[in-house]
Chain A
Amino acid sequence: MIALLGTGSLLLALACAVGGLGVLVVGHSRKDPRGLIWGYRAAISILTFVTLAVVDMETALVGFDFSIRYVAANINRVTPLLFRIAGLWGALEGSILLWVWILSGLTVLVAHRYRSRHPGFLPYVLGVLFAIATFFLGLIAGPANPFTRLAVTPPDGVGLNPLLQNHLLMAIHPPLLYLGYVGFSVPYAFAMGTLLSGQHREEWTSITRRWTLVAWTALTAGLFLGARWSYDVLGWGGYWAWDPVENAAVMPWLVATAFIHSSMVQARRQLLRGWNLALIILVFLLTIFGTFLTRSGVIASVHSFTQSLIGPLFIAFLSVATLVSLGALFWRRKQTPDEGGFDSLLSRESMMLINNLILVTMAFTVFLGTIFPLVVEVATGAKVTVGPPFFDRVVGPLGVLLLLAVGSGTALRWGRSGRDDLRKLGALAAGAVAITGALAASGVRSPTALTALGAAVFVALAQVTEYVRGALAHRAATGEGLLASVAALFSINPQRYYGYLTHLGLVVAVAGIVASQSGRIEVQNHLTVGETMQVGAYTLRLESLEALVGADRIIVAAPLTIGILDGTAQAGTARSSGDVDILRPSENFFRQSRTPVATPAVRSTWRDDLYVTLLAFDPREQSAVVRVVISPMVSWLWAGGAIMVGAGVLASWPTRRR
């Protein structure tokens, strides 16, 4: 029943998407305004049917309907409710269902909001959205149908991958990432709409500005939460490994960040029109590519993806979308001329162009590194991987250049900078050099870390200067206090001042990344109960071994008492300042998994993180093997991410129209 209802809903949704595309085309060719009305109805129908399918799937997951293959493969009788619900995005078929659900919701929002305001433009936009929905609906109505039934209903399911079931973030990270991914379909649809309609519509960037910000913010949150999940769950004490799955999410983020900046140049100077269209097309293609990369199994091996139709269909869709988009861009290139040009290299728009080039190069680098193994495997049959050193070596220096461009762009003005702007730039640079010198004097030795931190300080100083300048001018004009003036800036020009706040968040995150990468200490050690080890300024004493039996797992924990060495004690006579904390790293033996999954324990302060993973234990000997990682300032990374996401949310928050 559930299977029938689900598949039926998906087929009806598919029919509505195709039908919607049809009525829009017919309505347009006959210049009949009813086309748009029927298009709107089609959008609502798609949303209704996909919602039905989602509810249906959730019913099956929550109600343990193991006759459905997807349910049997992803949950079992002891999976907690939250993770049964989250099972929807635990694997390929369900996550594409989620993809389509978000897309159909956004399509209705777009149709509802703009059908009376932009009746001439909207049919193209809706048409593009319907075309995307048609592909994904075809995928899950056909080869990736989540409602496929099993011939024999098993008594119990396999269960979610223990790594995914081990953390609450699993419940919110994928939907946010998908909201980010799918959100970019809207600006893409408007961009394609302006190209297909045959006349340039300058308003496409201003209409999609908020959509882009929301998608960007969701993607940023998704990225940071993904890094946090990796840190909390995987047990190696790191948060980023240049894994293809991570790369798939970071590529569209980089290009979208470029787009947000270059669309400001278009709004302000009527420049970069063609470039903006190209960028948003690229973002969209990268989101599809990312979904393909993470969900088709192509990463494991090129050969695995030919085993089902899903991979080839993705490639086909990606090729068609690329050809149509770039074809339209080329065909209509004459309609998107820039008015005037760049007046000076020393201007905000030039710096934004430079940051665009750097961001796109970063994305291109990550792309090369990610697909290189696939290309080599297809061409020679040899399996190779491109290790993190490649990404670090290229993205690191590019990141420093990017920071320099961000700082300079903030300090310079639109058009052409005057002598006082250059003086300001010089003062900022001098300030950054001075602070970097102080950092070097206070013990930061690594030249790489100093360079990166110096660039970050430069950015921070530039943002703070803008707040101070703006606030001083506001105070002079209104007589309000300085703090009230800073607060007023956000409501006067939210785009600009929340933008600076995002930059500050980036600086905090960069500081966290640089410090945690360059100052990391890792030790593995064997401890018997009662034994103490010392790592950095911490002492760890193994207290005992504990076993706990839970519903879906058995947990073995190794409580460790943490002490901090007294920094004032004489060298060689290190004295502990007493026990400050107890950490309980553990291993989880899930019912459905042959091997245990470790849960690290972390003591996090603004200065550093003490991260302990239980690697092995011996109950007879009463001993444990632990990995201890000390990474300075990891919490800055999360704080920076929170600032960036917060600024993004506030900047895209709806304001009343004046």
Chain B
Amino acid sequence: MKRARLVLAAILVVGALLYLIIGGIRGAIVYYTTPSELLAQGASAVGRSIRLGGQVAPGSKKWNAQTLDLRFVLTDGKASVPVVHHGAPPDLFTEGQGAVVEGTYGTDGIFTAHAIIVKHSEQYAPPVSP
């Protein structure tokens, strides 16, 4: 009898916990896409939380230090997506290099990034000697 009560209590607790987990995992998923995939998805991608990865197109980076307005184009060679971000470019951010941004895709075709993600991998390519 006591055992049954305890088991019941345990089931209740576990059930509540599972409910919390399942509730949490929804909406927290961020999709990782490339510019081509994003353009192919079109309107269905609008408003979702997305991580967009590509190369910063050479010559596309425009940064206004006064207003902290950062604009650049992410490309995967086939398609390009213009990105705006409020804030300074992070240290590892350079033109011609890979970058991952997190944010949402707007109906105007511009990707608004709330974060530029810097990978801290342990491997660094050596600087090219002149």
**Chain A residues with a Cβ under 8 A of chain B:** 73, 90-91, 158-159, 161-164, 234-235, 300, 341-345, 350, 353-354, 357-358, 361, 364-365, 368-369, 372, 382-387, 389-391, 393-394, 397-398, 524-526, 587, 591-598, 615-616, 618, 621, 623, 625, 627
Contact = CB atoms under 8 A, between A and B. Distances in A.
Interface stretch (B54-62, B74-82, B89-97, B104-112): B89-97
Interface in B89-126: 89-94, 119-126
Contacts of B23: 393-394
A384 B50 CA distance: 9
Nearest to B25: A390
A164 B120 CA distance: 10
A372 B88 contact: no
Given A159-B124, A161-B122, A394-B24, A384 B29 contact: yes
A397 B124 CA distance: 39
A163 B20 CA distance: 36
B124 A158 contact: yes
Given A159-B126, A369-B25, 4 more contacts: A163-B120, A345-B9, A386-B28, A394-B24
B68 interface: yes
Contacts of B30: 384-387
Contacts of A387: 28-30, 49
A390 B6 contact: no
B43 interface: no
B65 A616 contact: yes
Contacts of B51: 383, 385
Contacts of B6: 341-342, 345, 350
B28 A361 contact: no
A389 B91 contact: no
Contact of B10 (A90, A162, A357): A357
Contacts of B122: 90-91, 161, 164
Contacts of A587: 91
B88 A524 contact: yes
Given A158-B124, A390-B28, A593-B127, A524 B68 contact: yes
Contacts of A350: 6
9 contacts: A90-B122, A341-B6, A350-B6, A357-B10, A364-B21, A372-B25, A385-B30, A526-B68, A591-B127
Contacts of B3: 341-342
Nearest to A163: B120
A593 B124 contact: yes
Contacts of B9: 345
Contacts, number: 135
Contacts of A389: 24, 27-28
Nearest to A618: B65
Main secondary structure of the interface of A (DSSP, over half): mixed
B126 A592 contact: yes
A440 B80 CA distance: 50
A41 B74 CA distance: 61
B44 interface: no
Given A390-B28, A616-B89, A365 B21 contact: yes
A592 B87 CA distance: 26
B14 interface: yes
A368 B65 contact: no
Contacts of B93: 595
A593 B81 CA distance: 28
A398 B20 contact: yes
A90 B123 CA distance: 10
Contact of B120 (A161, A361, A616): A161
Contacts of A369: 25, 28
A30 B128 CA distance: 64
A524 B87 contact: yes
B126 A382 contact: no
Given A526-B65, A595-B94, A616-B88, A361 B21 contact: yes
A642 to B, nearest CB: 26
B13 interface: yes
Contacts of A343: 2
Contact of A390 (B13, B24, B120): B24
Interface hub of B13, B30, B120, B126 (most chain A Cβ within 10 A)? B126
B17 A361 contact: yes
A386 B29 contact: yes
Contact of A592 (B28, B32, B127): B127
Contacts of A300: 119, 121
Contacts of B5: 345
A615 B29 contact: no
Given A159-B124, A387-B30, A598 B91 contact: yes
Contacts of A342: 2-3, 6
Given A345-B9, A358-B17, A595-B94, A393 B124 contact: no
7 closest A-B pairs (Cβ-Cβ)?
Answer: A390-B28, A615-B88, A383-B32, A394-B24, A393-B24, A361-B17, A625-B88
Contacts of B32: 382-385
A164 B32 CA distance: 27
Interface string B1-42: 011011001100110010011011101111111000000000
A5 to B, nearest CB: 26
B2 A596 contact: no
Contacts of B66: 526
B91 A596 contact: yes
Contacts of B24: 365, 389-391, 393-394
Contacts of A592: 124, 126-127
A394 B20 contact: yes
